[in-house]
Amino acid sequence: MEISTRLASLLRRLQPAGVILFARNIKDPQQTWRLLRECQKCVSAPLFTCIDMEGGTVDRLRDALGAAPPAADVFATGDAGVFRKHGKIIGE
């Protein structure tokens, strides 16, 4: 997915602090990286990138990285080590 001329123009004009990616924007890691690079080229400050990533049914990276467990399942373990590991995996 490439950014449209309209989106590039909007990014240049507004100079947002960040962007959010939805499932429709994410095809595979390489495409996502290219998309973010194109967005970054349009703004002067480093972009903060956000992805709605909860695991389970809200898993925007499922197709690119594989399924992540729902946050409720991770919480149900009661294990702080599992919490940290889950957060680290989806945060990277």
CA dihedral 25, 40, 18, 44 (to 10 degrees): -160
pLDDT at 60: 66
Q: Residue 47 sits in which domain range?
A: 5-91
Lowest mean pLDDT among 38-42, 74-78, 84-88: 84-88
Domain count, the chain: 1
Lowest mean pLDDT among 30-34, 38-42, 55-59, 66-70: 55-59
pLDDT at 36: 93
| pTM higher than 0.75 | no
